[in-house]
Chains A and B, each alone.
Chain A
Amino acid sequence: MNELVKHTESINRLLARYGVKFGIYKNNEFHEQLFPFDAIPRVIEHEDFLLLEKGLIQRVNALNMFLKDIYGEKQIIKDGVIPEEFVFSSPGYLPECEGICPPKGVYSHVSGIDLVQAKDKTWYILEDNLRIPSGASYPLIARDLCRRAVPRTFKNTSIVDNRNYGKMLGRMLDSVNVGGIKVIMTPGRYNAAYFEHSYLAEKSGSELAVNTDLFVEKNYLYHKDYLGNKQKVGVLYRRISDEYLDPMTFEQDSLIGIPNLMDVYRAGNVALVNAPGNGVADDKGIYYFVPKMIEYYLDEKPILKNAPTYLPFYEEDRKYVLDNLHKLVVKDVAEAGGYGVIFGSDLSEEKLEELRQLIIRESRRFIAQEVIDFLDLDILEDGEAVPRKADLRAFVLSSGDKTEVWPSGLTRFSRNPDSFVVNSSQGGGFKDTWVLSQ
């Protein structure tokens, strides 16, 4: 590992050359920034990974069943397990998807589940990302470069080879393909994750396309290449969000969507990965209910824990939140990417009171969580190892017949020693994640 660390700079230089960047819009300006790589890997023991794997598969299976239920029978609501306002007033719930059963019944094909490990080594789920979670390509290319820099390290240590992600993704796409080519659709090169889109297309054997390469004809979706040859698309891994997907169904002003795509999808003539409407299951308010979903749909005890969470919507929880606000972290359910996260400990008494009043007024809008005592990971700063907060995004792929966990993941860390927020859009860095094979 020491040898690997010596290559930090050269690996970062190569990452920059390959265009491993993260673009962000701020104040209407586009900035591209590097996603700094730290060479000290996160190491997950074999036994530990087996547990994670089991727990993640369980969780994602339950989430998929929930989505199928919500856009179908709604049994979990009828049985009173989840209050209906958490579902039908969620901005992620799309009535336009009512009654659609996607190919093979899969809604969340690529799930990005964020976890943290506490000091006592317990893993906690922080949030589920079931829309279009990004990030797999970063550890993927970093691993490739690390192996080239120090091949011996990877020969002498029993690390599970994670370079199969592209194959896993390709297989999953094939499994839901209704007949035709597979396409990864990107909003274009100014998107934050454009590097990832192009890299995954190459690794999974898919066409990379923008909306102008794709069109609907007679209720089927087609791809037209630069020679004008057209081919039917059987599965579209679209990396644009639901609201821009089809201007005839969602945001009418969207210029990056495909008109009438939703009708093709409703007719079962194309698979959309991930299914539109998944936002109803990864909302921060619904998060609270995921352990209940696991018990309800699978009749199993949840293997992985949620961070201890309170829902001010329930009177008992509200009382606890109002009394203990100074030590809790409060999250706005409508925000993503580390925005809308407030630590009670950072607030003055006056601001705390303001927040209390806001929670009383809009109790459905927030969740509150205990601050988890993170197990810090070492990162290298000016040649010295310093501890920083880090999380892990695990990637879970669901085909029609099986759910599997990629034996790796994206470990993101905060470069700021005082910050808990690790999101790449807020300037964090990343590490490779090693899963030991024995």
Chain B
Amino acid sequence: MKKLQFTYEMTLRFDEPVRDHYFALRCVPMSNAAQQIQIENRYVYPTDCLNEVVDGFGNHKYVGHYFDNHKQFTYEISGTAVVEGMRVIQEPLHSMYKFPSRLTRPGTELKAFLEKLQSEENFSSKSNLEKAITIMNAVYDVMEYKADVTDIHTTAEEALEGKIGVCQDYAHICIASCRLAGIPARYVNGLMIGEGATHAWLEIYTGKGWYGLDPTNNLHVDDYYIKLAHGRDYGDCVLDKGRFLGSVNQTQQIKVCVEEI
């Protein structure tokens, strides 16, 4: 068990004023069996209104808008998390996590990838978790981590074909393979110890509940991870979405900091 202090900061800067700005922020960690969340500070500026809602997947999000002209938009959330990872989170299984989704639809590459694993000795006699770990190991071995080659529209099939990608791609390939192998799996957005950006991994359904695996690091999700949101794939749980009027150049800066206290 670890106690972590986390901060997530997102700043949007526009070179000219924008208006009628709508936003949906899905970076609100919630308490579950593996993490106890205490939110200490929440700052969204500027806003006309802010509502906290729960989406169809069970994630919390802040939605709202700001109509007047502005050149900057900031969102900040911080707090503490008491984390006890490597455990099964007992949440019911929704069947949508059993089937391919837009970014995890398997093609020939993924099917061949899984078939090879399935042909290995005693794969079929393994438990869901053991199978998923085998898949994770294989994905870690075959993939090379490299930024800026893939993007948010890259599918699991495409990423596996190129054998290059980032955490999102690693997670998608694992999810697609798990579902092909009959193991329900969902995509997770979250934070990891250290400083930098957000991270992505997956949770598989063991038969009793959900268990986190991080294929980018070939690790079980332990006490150093804070979950933000989940969905069938990346598309379901985009952390920040916005829509405004104005023909401008924008820069987005995201700062994440997680440290043990």
Check if B208 is an interface residue, CB within 8 A of chain A. no
Scan residues 65-112 of chain B and give those whose CB is less than 8 A from a CB of chain A. 65, 67, 94-96, 98-100
- Say yes or no: A89 contacts B48, CB within 8 Å: no
What are the residues of chain B within 8 A of A89 when measuring CB–CB?
99-100
Partner of B57, one of A95, A217, A248, A266: A95
- Say yes or no: A260 contacts B22, CB within 8 Å: yes
Scan residues 42-71 of chain B and give those whose CB is less than 8 A from a CB of chain A. 48-49, 51, 53-57, 63, 65, 67
- Say yes or no: A263 contacts B56, CB within 8 Å: no
- Say yes or no: B96 contacts A260, CB within 8 Å: no
- In angstroms, Cα B231 to Cα A249, docked, is 13
- In angstroms, Cα B48 to Cα A46, docked, is 58
Check if A205 is an interface residue, CB within 8 A of chain B. no
- Say yes or no: B96 contacts A88, CB within 8 Å: yes
Scan residues 18-53 of chain B and give those whose CB is less than 8 A from a CB of chain A. 20, 22-24, 48-49, 51, 53
- Say yes or no: B96 contacts A95, CB within 8 Å: yes
The residue in A94, A97, A259 that gathers the most chain B C-beta atoms within 10 A of its C-beta is A259
Given A88-B95, A97-B56, CB of A248 within 8 Å of CB of B65: no
Check if A191 is an interface residue, CB within 8 A of chain B. no
- Say yes or no: A218 contacts B243, CB within 8 Å: no
Nearest-Cβ distance from residue A363 to partner chain B, whole angstroms: 15
- Say yes or no: A218 contacts B236, CB within 8 Å: no
- Say yes or no: B241 contacts A84, CB within 8 Å: no
- In angstroms, Cα B55 to Cα A98, docked, is 8
B: contact size bracket: 20 to 34
- Say yes or no: A218 contacts B49, CB within 8 Å: yes
Check if A375 is an interface residue, CB within 8 A of chain B. no
Closest to B49 in A: A218
Nearest-Cβ distance from residue A197 to partner chain B, whole angstroms: 24
Check if B232 is an interface residue, CB within 8 A of chain A. yes
- Say yes or no: A100 contacts B56, CB within 8 Å: yes
Closest to B54 in A: A99
Given A88-B99, A217-B48, A263-B51, CB of A248 within 8 Å of CB of B63: yes
Q: Mark A243-281, 1 if CB is under 8 A from B, else 0.
A: 000011100100000011001001100000000000000
Check if A93 is an interface residue, CB within 8 A of chain B. yes
What are the residues of chain B within 8 A of A263 when measuring CB–CB?
24, 51, 53, 63
- In angstroms, Cα B111 to Cα A399, docked, is 47
- Say yes or no: A259 contacts B99, CB within 8 Å: no
Q: Mark A77-92, 1 if CB is under 8 A from B, else 0.
A: 1000000110111000
Check if A372 is an interface residue, CB within 8 A of chain B. no
Partner of B24, one of A87, A95, A260: A260
Partner of B22, one of A85, A94, A98, A216: A216
Partner of A98, one of B48, B56, B98, B241: B56
What are the residues of chain A within 8 A of B49 when measuring CB–CB?
217-219
- Say yes or no: B65 contacts A216, CB within 8 Å: yes
The residue in A87, A97, A252, A260 that gathers the most chain B C-beta atoms within 10 A of its C-beta is A260
What are the residues of chain B within 8 A of A100 when measuring CB–CB?
56
- Say yes or no: A84 contacts B98, CB within 8 Å: yes
Closest to B20 in A: A215
Check if A96 is an interface residue, CB within 8 A of chain B. yes
Nearest-Cβ distance from residue A272 to partner chain B, whole angstroms: 15
Scan residues 209-261 of chain B and give those whose CB is less than 8 A from a CB of chain A. 231-232, 236, 241, 243
Partner of B51, one of A95, A97, A219, A248: A219
What are the residues of chain B within 8 A of A266 when measuring CB–CB?
53
Closest to A254 in B: B243
Scan residues 214-229 of chain A and give those whose CB is less than 8 A from a CB of chain B. 215-219
- Say yes or no: A98 contacts B57, CB within 8 Å: yes
- Say yes or no: B99 contacts A85, CB within 8 Å: yes
- Say yes or no: B95 contacts A84, CB within 8 Å: yes
Q: Mark A87-129, 1 if CB is under 8 A from B, else 0.
A: 1110001111111100000000000000000000000000000
- Say yes or no: B95 contacts A99, CB within 8 Å: no
- In angstroms, Cα B96 to Cα A269, docked, is 27
Shortest Cβ-Cβ A-B pairs, 10 listed: A98-B56, A259-B22, A89-B99, A96-B56, A218-B49, A259-B243, A84-B95, A88-B96, A88-B95, A95-B56
Listed A/B pairs (19) with beta-carbon separation below 8 Å: A74-B95, A77-B95, A89-B100, A95-B57, A95-B94, A95-B231, A95-B232, A95-B236, A96-B55, A96-B56, A98-B94, A216-B65, A217-B48, A217-B65, A219-B63, A247-B243, A248-B243, A260-B22, A260-B24
